[in-house]
Structure 1
Amino acid sequence: MTTQPLVERSEVGAVLVLTLARPRAKNALSAELMEELRIALQRAAQEESVRAVVVTGQDGNFCAGADISAFENFRTAPLVGDRSRCGQLFWDELSSFPKPVVAAVEGYALGGGCELALACDIVVAAESATFGLPEVKLGVIPGAGGTQNLIRSVGKAAAMQMLLTGTAISADEARRMGLASTVCAEGEALEAALAIGHAISGNSPTAVALAKNAALAALDTGLAQGLEHEKRNFHVAILSPDSYEGQQAFLEKRRPAFSQTGASS
């Protein structure tokens, strides 16, 4: 008997689409699904043909959260030890993934699903999208970056209201608060996310990687340290072959032929 993949992979030009494929569970995050997604991201990080990644879900839902049945694993897994039992390896690797990741959200993005969207670089939401971190209603709190990433995305007051009441918000509210960057018509989130991915993929992969790296440093450092980090990345970029090619192409009024690989700081 062939086991159906829990993460479906397809390439649209230079954009890799990873689709969560547990529709009967509204694409809830099981340990197996997170491991498949982790492996898919590891592979994508090494593939020169992939310039950006889009994460989405099957059958009108992004991800309804984590499997409640998996909570027993969290009780028995030590805080330090077998991190794979809690899916922590997946979350760690997603947070350090070097290429841009766009979430294409339709329907539910709740609990772990909301944390997955927050961990992406850009969030595109259809009008049907619903975002929320309802963990307090189950006697727990977000444990995959939700408290940290939400407050960085929407600010203290809005984050506290969502976290402490467990109340969900609409796509329009998510855009107004800064959680989502774009709201599109029902059924068009993937198309809109692909358009962003294609726009990214036309740019220098070296510059894109360095820009993402520098921007994320702002979340973990003060302004002075962040500016120093940006300056270091700028010097790496300006000395790269893509820098010479991009500026020469501009002067010659032609499309640049950028390298296939990015750069790290």
Structure 2
Amino acid sequence: MGNIAYEVKGQTACLQIQSPPANALSEPLFQALAKRLDEIEADTNVKAVILRGEGKFFSAGADIKAFSKLQEAADYQALAESGQQLFDRIENFSIPVIASIHGAALGGGLELAMACHIRIAAETAKLGLPELTLGIIPGFAGTQRLPQYVGTAKAYEMLLTGDAISAKEAAELGLVNRVTQEETLEEETWKLADKIAEKSRLSINRIMQLVPYAKTEQFSIGVQEEANAFGEIFGSEDATEGVQAFMEKRKPQFRDR
């Protein structure tokens, strides 16, 4: 099911994804994260938030086994919209959220990281959206956020191949802010969060309100279209084959239908 651990040090809150072994994302985990965000909003002391994963990964993606149990295209569309709304809430949060990425941020894990305001990655981390290798597509606004960070051409390449990139390349593209050694990732993340938390809450909140104006109206349209397409694609024969192949650890045999 998964859980989101919560601790506060000084004026920085830390949320830790606890969904072993790969911190897979699921509807219960989304609900747990939403509740933690409620707690942070109610705590007037907190001025910065760190989001990280427990164990070997930040998050290696969505819980495919759980998602594959849904029956109707409408169910998949509703799932995509639920994740999109939560990630949109994070992106428009009144307090800055820093993703501390180690191991891997793949699929829904990268989509979650992209919704955060700042990303710091360990040099050994891998980032990517491998959904097409399963015969499906990203459903949590990945097709809309990724081009904003890496550019349209690179986004096409990453989405269509499903290949992950290194933390170093992610930094060069602007997908992550900085790269650190894995053993210093936690220290560097807290240092940055605390530096932000030293600022006035009033000025922090205004910045958090102003920067989102840079987004175009096309983003919200694209996100809705992605949710619609997510529902349609998950109902295809290729999606069934891709998910089954993933669970059986074999190469899928797509038939383009």
The one-letter amino acid paired with 1:118 is M
**Gap regions ≥5 residues in structure 1:** 223-265
The residue aligned with 2:96 is: 100
The one-letter amino acid paired with 1:165 is T
Residue 179 (str. 1) matches residue 175 (str. 2): yes
Looking at structure 1, the residues matched to 27 and 73 of structure 2 have their Cα atoms a distance apart, in angstroms, of: 13
The residue aligned with 1:19 is: 16
Quick one: which of 68, 80, 94 aligns to 2:64?
Answer: 68
Supply the RMSD in Å over aligned alpha carbons. Answer: 2.3
Mapping 1:29-178, distance limit 5 Å: 29-72=25-68, 76=72, 78=74, 86-178=82-174
Q: 1:14 touches 1:198 (CA, 8 Å); kept in 2?
A: yes
Deviation at residue 192 of structure 1 after TM alignment: 1.3
Q: How many residues align?
A: 218
Any idea what the Cα deviations from partners look like across 1:111-168, whole Å, max 9, x if unmatched? 0000011000000000111000001111111110111111011111111111111100
Looking at structure 2, the residues matched to 85 and 68 of structure 1 have their Cα atoms a distance apart, in angstroms, of: 16
**Gap regions ≥5 residues in structure 2:** 219-257
Deviation at residue 213 of structure 1 after TM alignment: 1.9
Quick one: which of 208, 211, 215 aligns to 2:207?
Answer: 211
TM-score, structure 1 length as denominator? 0.76
Looking at structure 2, the residues matched to 85 and 215 of structure 1 have their Cα atoms a distance apart, in angstroms, of: 23
The one-letter amino acid paired with 1:168 is A
SS in structure 2 of the partner of residue 173 of structure 1: helix
Q: Pick 1 or 2: higher relative contact order, CA cutoff 8 A, min separation 6.
A: 2
SS in structure 2 of the partner of residue 141 of structure 1: coil
TM-score, structure 2 length as denominator? 0.78
Looking at structure 1, the residues matched to 114 and 192 of structure 2 have their Cα atoms a distance apart, in angstroms, of: 17
Q: 1:102 touches 1:122 (CA, 8 Å); kept in 2?
A: yes
Q: 2:59 touches 2:110 (CA, 8 Å); kept in 1?
A: yes
Q: 1:111 touches 1:133 (CA, 8 Å); kept in 2?
A: yes
Change in 2 beyond 3 A, CA 1:74/1:87: farther
Any idea what the Cα deviations from partners look like across 1:183-228, whole Å, max 9, x if unmatched? 0001322221111111111111111121122112102269xxxxxx
Deviation at residue 14 of structure 1 after TM alignment: 0.6
Deviation at residue 40 of structure 1 after TM alignment: 0.2
The one-letter amino acid paired with 2:19 is R
Deviation at residue 30 of structure 1 after TM alignment: 1.7
The one-letter amino acid paired with 1:18 is L
Quick one: which of 5, 8, 12 aligns to 1:8?
Answer: 5
Q: 1:28 touches 1:63 (CA, 8 Å); kept in 2?
A: yes
Q: 1:38 touches 1:94 (CA, 8 Å); kept in 2?
A: no
Looking at structure 1, the residues matched to 209 and 76 of structure 2 have their Cα atoms a distance apart, in angstroms, of: 27
Where in structure 1 do 4 or more consecutive aligned residues deviate above 4 Å?
79-86
Q: 1:73 touches 1:85 (CA, 8 Å); kept in 2?
A: no
SS in structure 2 of the partner of residue 187 of structure 1: helix
Q: 2:80 touches 2:139 (CA, 8 Å); kept in 1?
A: no
Looking at structure 2, the residues matched to 85 and 218 of structure 1 have their Cα atoms a distance apart, in angstroms, of: 22
Residue identity (%): 38
Looking at structure 2, the residues matched to 115 and 162 of structure 1 have their Cα atoms a distance apart, in angstroms, of: 13
